[in-house]
Amino acid sequence: MSDVADQLFLGRQPILDREQQLYAYELLFRSSCRNAATVTDGVQATATVIANAFAELGVEAALGNCRGFINVDEQFLFSDMLELLPRHAVVLEILETVPPSTAVIERCKTLKAAGFMLALDDVIQLEPAYADLLALVEIVKVDIQPLSRVQLMQLVMQLKPLGKQLLAEKVDSREQMEQCLKLGFSLFQGYYFAKPTIIAGRKLDHSQLSLMRLMGLLLADADSDQLEEALKSEPALTVNLLRLTNSVGCGSSETITSLRHAIAVLGRRQLQRWLQLLVFASGKANGPANPLLLLAATRGRLMELLAGELRPDDKSFADQAFMAGIMSLMPGLMNLPIGEIIAPLGLADTLRDALCDGSGTLGSLLQLAECSECDDLAHLAEQLARLPGLSPKALNRAQTGALQWANAIGRENKKGT
């Protein structure tokens, strides 16, 4: 069992509401990155992995105000260890392989009475045998992929009288999203929200581009004159910077009255963190936050934390890793090639090579981050092997920390609206 406890792999996929705001994550736990059946007691292994993930990795804290959907098969449904999970933070997703037997129904009643929220996974038709189980769950996850438009419409008409929240899963296109919205689905999950190759045609506004140019100047160690000149062309940023420095003070009791003074008081690293925060906060300026911005924030922070594991004393490397993470998703937001996006930013060669060619240590970190987001366990193992300084546990610590950071951004954004 020690091998299982030492090798936690946390996959996750966002679940969004009708306004495309984050509602929850589906959490995917694995005992190894190869999905190998090396443990004889599967129930105990799964229970140990999940319990450790919440207790040791702090997943509950990382979820923030969101819940975590956890797949539950028939064996694990009856495990006492299931009740160790924080019921306010999880949704127990009953897999389609679980038979609606009398024992299963009674167990679900017990769990619901104990305060757990239940969901039914991969529903594609209403079978009479599942009537009692459907009555107990709060959320019905509909797999829209095998259904035609007519079949999906008919299924929704059958489900609506039950008064359940309907979650459309495997939403892969704008057309599917719009159809599910019209049909009344309240929750959504799928690659349409997470894959940068699918979300396209939405350019960053001028302020966001300016923010990234400023971050590029900081990474290139530009002098204060260049930073001040760049900020002068963005009056809104200037006001925000002065307000931030005056309110926080960074240990200074004096009033900040100039850009140069603000930069000096904040310090370059703190200024860079402020700019990074604003990149994602600005995604809410004209409507719902783009899920891809949240993914970019999480990926950037993940890479920064992984870089810290590899080179604990190299802050510059960690900064470049963060920049590589967020910039890697800009093509999906701007509908432009990465080379064209980064051309005016004056990035270091190592950063440019990682983004354009996936080469170098930064490139390997980027590929590792991408594999972890897609739950691509085979390639995840390959990328970890290329980075011998990283352990599976270090990866999961970084993933959890990245979620916590991204959730903190979301909380700050809500305070400012």
Is residue 198, in this structure, part of any structural domain at all?
no
Same domain, 268 and 169: no
Mean pLDDT of the chain: 76
Per residue in 291-313, pLDDT (tens digit) is 666 777 788 889 999 999 999 98
Supply the angle between the helices 377-386 and 360-374 in degrees, to the nearest 10. Answer: 160
Question: What is the rounded distance in angstroms from the CA atom of residue 6 to the CA atom of residue 111?
Answer: 29
Is residue 195, in this structure, part of any structural domain at all?
no
Is 232 or 20 the better-scoring residue by pLDDT?
20
Per residue in 167-208, pLDDT (tens digit) is 999 998 888 999 999 999 999 998 777 654 333 334 445 466
Per residue in 3-48, pLDDT (tens digit) is 433 445 566 778 888 887 778 888 766 544 443 333 344 455 555 5
Identify the top-confidence range among 44-48, 231-235, 260-264: 260-264
Lowest mean pLDDT: which of 125-134, 179-188, 209-218, 302-311?
209-218
Residue with tokens 């440019």: 352
| Banded model confidence at residue 263, pLDDT cuts 50, 70, 90 | confident
Per residue in 389-402, pLDDT (tens digit) is 888 888 888 888 88
Q: What percent of the chain has pLDDT over 70?
A: 67
Residue at which a domain ends, from 189, 215, 241: 189
The pLDDT of residue 246 is 56
Contact indicator for 292, 406 with CB cutoff of 8 Å = no
The pTM of this model reads: 0.62
How do strand 139-143 and strand 117-123 relate by DSSP bridges? parallel
Is residue 228, in this structure, part of any structural domain at all?
yes
Q: What percent of the chain has pLDDT over 90?
A: 26
Classify residue 190 by its DSSP letter.
Answer: S
The pLDDT of residue 65 is 74
Q: Which residues form the domain of 93?
A: 2-189
Same domain, 294 and 150: no
Same domain, 173 and 230: no
Same domain, 28 and 75: yes
Same domain, 182 and 213: no
**Residue 411: strand, helix, or coil:** helix
How do strand 90-94 and strand 117-123 relate by DSSP bridges? parallel
Q: Is the pLDDT of residue 286 over 70?
A: no
Question: What is the rounded distance in angstroms from the CA atom of residue 269 to the CA atom of residue 315?
Answer: 9
Residue at which a domain ends, from 158, 189, 220: 189
Is residue 142, in this structure, part of any structural domain at all?
yes
Same domain, 35 and 182: yes
Q: Is the pLDDT of residue 223 over 60?
A: yes
Question: What is the rounded distance in angstroms from the CA atom of residue 341 to the CA atom of residue 215?
Answer: 14
Query: Number of structural domains, the chain?
Result: 2
In the chain, the amino acid numbered 59 is V
Task: Read off the CATH number of the domain in which 403 is found.
Answer: 1.10.3210
In the chain, the amino acid numbered 309 is E
Is residue 68, in this structure, part of any structural domain at all?
yes
Same domain, 144 and 176: yes
Is residue 280, in this structure, part of any structural domain at all?
yes
